[in-house]
Amino acid sequence: MATEKSTELVFNPKLNLVTNIPDIQFEIQANVPYHFKFFNHNEDCESTLVQVLDRFLLHLDIIFLRDSLLAALRESITNAVKANSKRLYFKLANANINDESDYKEKMNSFKTDYLRNRTEFESKLEANGYQVVVSFIHGKDFLKIRVMNNTSIAKEEANRIKTRIEKSKLYNDLSEAFMDSADDTEGAGLGLIMTFLMLKNDGLGSNPFRFESAENKTMITFDIPLKVTQSNFQLQKADTILKEIDNLPTFPKAISDIQSAIDKPNSSIQDIAEMIKRDISLSANILRLSNSASFRRGNKVETLDRAIQMIGLKELQSILYSLGTKQILEDKFPSFQYIWDKSNESAFYAKLVGQKMNLSKETMNSLVSAALLHDIGEIILLSIEKDKMGNIQNYSNSKELSSALSMEESAFGITHTKLGSMVSEKWQFPDLFTKAMEYHHRPLLVEDTYKNIVFPIYLSDMMIRINLQESKASEIPIEVLKHCKIFSHSEFQSFRARSQELFSKD
């Protein structure tokens, strides 16, 4: 029967994995589990993991869990592969992992040997039959995701994991976990604790996963009720951060006056230039912008009139949102310049994506401005929570997590995306800016109307992260690529490389 067939695991050349998934666009059916099997955490396994997870979360309408679940699953897979490697290591060294003195002695050399020769080591897992199976199982009101490896765990390891999980329950937030792990010479277990806190914060309750071991298998299971809702209790913690937003001045009137002047049908470039000239720093910023990578065509622009001509009145109107923002945030927040530079690069890439999509001129105008503005929340968060943000970024970069949103949430009670959108609302920016700020790391959550803005910005951000080797292309949802007229991950990779070259030439 059909169900019997679907649980049979066979090699699928398209996924390059042993699985019962016939096609990655598989239809999701309740009570039909999906499994895939692999030996080390390679590109094929990663790309299948991301795509299967997206399929389920979208289908079940819980895509807001993507960030934390992806982090959790990667952590679990890494641990499972590592546990298998450890068995292999003991086997090759003819040592008994269940013998306490053998364990202590061999573990020291394992840590250095494994880190040093990880790839070589992991390539032997398959020949020795050490495997990992990931399963997605869903019923009427739950989704279960299980990561299982085929070795039993030593008593000492099991105890350590259980202690970590118990410890996680005591932390109120991520910063406590960071503080605690600072004294922990091995830095061990932080991943598991993070996972725990992120999932708990995303509404999965106080026991978001189960850890079990039995003869010849060890597994971690994530139990996700489908009625999960993101809890808001964290917001109280964000009080001091929210005060910063209250204390921000209103949007500069001089600038919104220029914006309304542009709206009048009979206003000319000269009229507008006159208004702008009254503000020296604004004039300088417009001139600088017209010479930046996103606008520059040909020779250096020297006069304001020419700069406005180059940018165009309509586009200038939308650019003025970011220039007004610059005026307010530049001196107040030390992280301004760093994010501003990054956002300029993002605007450049977003424009290239927009061109590929054949967006209308009007949408392109909004896209560039939205890209310049999308991380203003990060300017604020990075400036007032420098140390904690540093910890989060280091951690998420080392794990190649595309976004540290769940971690921000568990550390501060608020994310830079939410903060940004609050500022945008305070200054009465157009909705599409607000949406770009809120959804640029969680593009699958945005309403259809805003996809043309949010998707290119998300991709531009990913391009920057991949250039810095902080993320992998495989985690980009294929839906997003397709919407942007990019039809595969490899096409995206060559597009990214070309764009990077163009940017560095500029």
Residues at the contact surface with Fe ion, assessed by CB under 5 A: 375, 461
Q: Angle at CA 58, nearest 5°, toward 52 and 63? A: 100
Rounded to the nearest whole angstrom, what is the least distance from the CB of residue 270 to Fe ion in the complex?
36
Burial of 160 (0-12, 13-18, 19+ CB in 10 A): middle
Structure tokens at 285: 């910023």
In 10 A of CB 273, how many CB atoms? 18
Give whichever of 385 and 461 is closer to Fe ion, judged by the CB atom.
461
Give whichever of 66 and 146 is closer to Fe ion, judged by the CB atom.
66
Rounded to the nearest whole angstrom, what is the least distance from the CB of residue 461 to Fe ion in the complex?
4
Rounded to the nearest whole angstrom, what is the least distance from the CB of residue 418 to Fe ion in the complex?
11
In 10 A of CB 267, how many CB atoms? 15
Give whichever of 46 and 461 is closer to Fe ion, judged by the CB atom.
461
Give whichever of 189 and 420 is closer to Fe ion, judged by the CB atom.
420
Residues with Cβ within 8 Å of 217's Cβ and at least 6 positions away in sequence, in order, are 148, 149, 150, 151, 152
Rounded to the nearest whole angstrom, what is the least distance from the CB of residue 403 to Fe ion in the complex?
7
- Complete edge-to-edge strand list for the sheet that includes strand 17-19: 10-12, 17-19, 34-38, 132-138, 142-149, 217-225, 209-214
Give whichever of 15 and 446 is closer to Fe ion, judged by the CB atom.
446
Rounded to the nearest whole angstrom, what is the least distance from the CB of residue 375 to Fe ion in the complex?
4
Give whichever of 222 and 340 is closer to Fe ion, judged by the CB atom.
340
Give whichever of 142 and 338 is closer to Fe ion, judged by the CB atom.
338
Give whichever of 441 and 483 is closer to Fe ion, judged by the CB atom.
441
Give whichever of 26 and 338 is closer to Fe ion, judged by the CB atom.
338
Residues with Cβ within 8 Å of 443's Cβ and at least 6 positions away in sequence, in order, are 451, 454, 455, 458, 477, 480
Give whichever of 147 and 405 is closer to Fe ion, judged by the CB atom.
405
Structure tokens at 412: 């501060």
Q: Are 439 and 377 in contact (CB under 8 A)?
A: no
Distance CA 193, CA 65 (A): 17
Give whichever of 310 and 411 is closer to Fe ion, judged by the CB atom.
411
Kindly state the helix (H) or strand (E) to which residue 222 belongs, with its residue range. strand 217-225
Closest CA to 234 of 506, 418, 27: 418
Rounded to the nearest whole angstrom, what is the least distance from the CB of residue 94 to Fe ion in the complex?
51
Rounded to the nearest whole angstrom, what is the least distance from the CB of residue 98 to Fe ion in the complex?
47
- 3-state class (DSSP) for residue 146: strand
Q: Are 89 and 106 in contact (CB under 8 A)?
A: yes
Rounded to the nearest whole angstrom, what is the least distance from the CB of residue 238 to Fe ion in the complex?
17
Structure tokens at 122: 């992991």
Closest CA to 417 of 445, 398, 386, 449: 445
Rounded to the nearest whole angstrom, what is the least distance from the CB of residue 440 to Fe ion in the complex?
5
Distance CA 297, CA 34 (A): 52
Rounded to the nearest whole angstrom, what is the least distance from the CB of residue 371 to Fe ion in the complex?
9
Q: Residues in the chain, how many?
A: 506
Rounded to the nearest whole angstrom, what is the least distance from the CB of residue 416 to Fe ion in the complex?
6
Residue 210's alpha-carbon distances to 131, 145, 194, 196, 216, in angstroms, are 20, 11, 15, 11, 17
Give whichever of 49 and 446 is closer to Fe ion, judged by the CB atom.
446
Cite the DSSP H helix spans in 430-476. 431-439, 451-467
Rounded to the nearest whole angstrom, what is the least distance from the CB of residue 45 to Fe ion in the complex?
27
Q: What is the CB-side half-sphere exposure of residue 480 using CA atoms within 13 A?
A: 30
